[in-house]
Amino acid sequence: MITVIGTGTGAPLAPDAREALAGAALVVGARRHLEAAGLPDTVARIVLGPLAPALDAVEEHLAKNDGEADGPVVVLASGDPGFFGIVRALAERFGPRCLDVRPGVSSVATAFARLGLTWDDAVVVSAHGRDPRTALNVCRARPKVAVLTGPGAGPAELGAGLRASRRVLVVASALGDPARERLERVTPAEAAARDWGDAVNVVLCLDEERSSVGVSARTVAGAPPGPAGWALAEDAFAHRDSMITKFEVRALALARLGPRLGDLVWDVGAGSGSVAVECARLGAAAVAVEKTRDGVERVRANAAAHDVDVHVVHGAAPTVLSDLDDPDAVFIGGGGHELPAIVTACARRARRAVVVAVAALDRVPAARDALVAAGFGCDGVLLQSSRLAPLPGDVTRLAAANPVFLLWGERPPARTTRIRTEVEGVAQ
């Protein structure tokens, strides 16, 4: 049996945890945990660094003692070790039935408690030991996010990636230490300009206009459920002279884009921003690129009407694309004679997919060639639809919509590497 003790955020260990430590033959933990435990010199210990050698040593110890009374193992970990913690790695190696887990209070729960905020509506993402890209996209898309940080993925990196947003960052450091604990509320720019040291526990990313306390009780914790429907009717959006991606086209485009929480999607030539808004409703961070000033305002109004956050970039593609972070997927709904250059620029940057809607037949070959040249597998369809329309006399006719070519390019599976948001045995 392996006893896993969560040390919490400064609270004294419970009597049963102290009793387990007192009887341990081997104690595993970070150096700070081992020093704080006050272990006698006779107790063997392993300082956690790379996890695999530590697990090998634990396995060897258990095999040598074969369950005898003089061989108990205790693992010390921060907070709740079952929440983005070492329990996952231990359970995968030894099986959950071999674990006796004594959780402490997680840093996330503590940070929200210090602010007097509920967190059943918060999204929690780990950037500990990971590229912060997924955490950044979640922060862009959701109004209340807790980010577990690590070297190279801390407040400065989050702040740099969120400069264009209206977010506020609350940096929680040394939680549970009365002499050192700090919660600092900063703008993304302020966070990016500082060296935060190694005492940061968690960063809360808040859109304070949208993350206020609600009056209704929640049933499911975390991110809200996905929308009940998508490919919304055109009249769900403000648009100019019917210049909007029709819902039939949008439905297939969304299926090929696959927007989801943690993704970044570009909507290039956004017009009304209907695709960007729908991607944001499905959980992705969305950027709408629009060259007209009235179009920019229209996209912002549509995003506000659907209570989603869409970052709108005013300018012409492909020029303005160079300042944006690499997307997971791109929808291109405009471009005119610049379409081949736009498709090429987007295909070079997209990690997973590019979808192009084209009304003019003579522009299809160049768009397709640009996708293939960038290494995408390319496919497409001509969408022709007819909608029910009433006629006098209580009868119905079919009204044909303009045909649209929809092309999509997808990177081969070997190149589509999704950043994991699950811990891989990193003790926090």
Nearest-angstrom CA–CA distance, 257 and 269: 16
The pLDDT score that the predictor gives to residue 212 is 60
Nearest-angstrom CA–CA distance, 168 and 186: 6
What residue ranges do the domains of the chain occupy? Answer: 2-105, 108-206, 234-415
| Assigned token pair, 99 | 């674990």
DSSP class per residue in 69-95: TT--EEEEESB-TTSSSTHHHHHHHH-
Binned average pLDDT, 10 residues per bin, the chain of 428 residues: 87 84 91 86 89 93 71 90 94 95 93 95 93 95 95 94 94 92 96 94 92 66 88 95 92 97 97 97 97 96 96 96 97 89 96 96 94 95 94 93 95 56 34
DSSP class per residue in 96-110: GGGEEEE----HHHH
What φ, ψ does residue 40 adopt, rounded to 5°?
-70, 155
Give Cβ neighbours of residue 212 (< 8 Å, ≥ 6 apart).
none
Q: Which CATH architecture has domain 108-206?
A: 2-Layer Sandwich (3.30)
Query: Can you tell me which residue has the tokens 């610049």?
Result: 338
Q: What is the CA radius of gyration of the chain?
A: 26
| Domain 234-415 falls under CATH 3.40.50.150 | yes
What letter does residue 321 receive in the DSSP assignment?
G
The pLDDT score that the predictor gives to residue 420 is 36
The pLDDT score that the predictor gives to residue 321 is 97
What φ, ψ does residue 251 adopt, rounded to 5°?
-60, -45
CATH of domain 2-105: 3.40.1010.10
The pLDDT score that the predictor gives to residue 216 is 65
pLDDT digits (tens, 9 = 90+) for 281-339: 999 999 999 999 999 999 999 999 999 999 999 999 999 999 999 999 999 997 788 99
The pLDDT score that the predictor gives to residue 68 is 55
The pLDDT score that the predictor gives to residue 64 is 85
Nearest-angstrom CA–CA distance, 150 and 169: 16
What φ, ψ does residue 340 adopt, rounded to 5°?
-55, -40
Nearest-angstrom CA–CA distance, 22 and 18: 6
Report the candidate in 338, 87, 121 with the shortest Cα–Cα distance to residue 223: 121
Pair 358, 382: CB distance under 8 Å: no
Reported pTM: 0.89
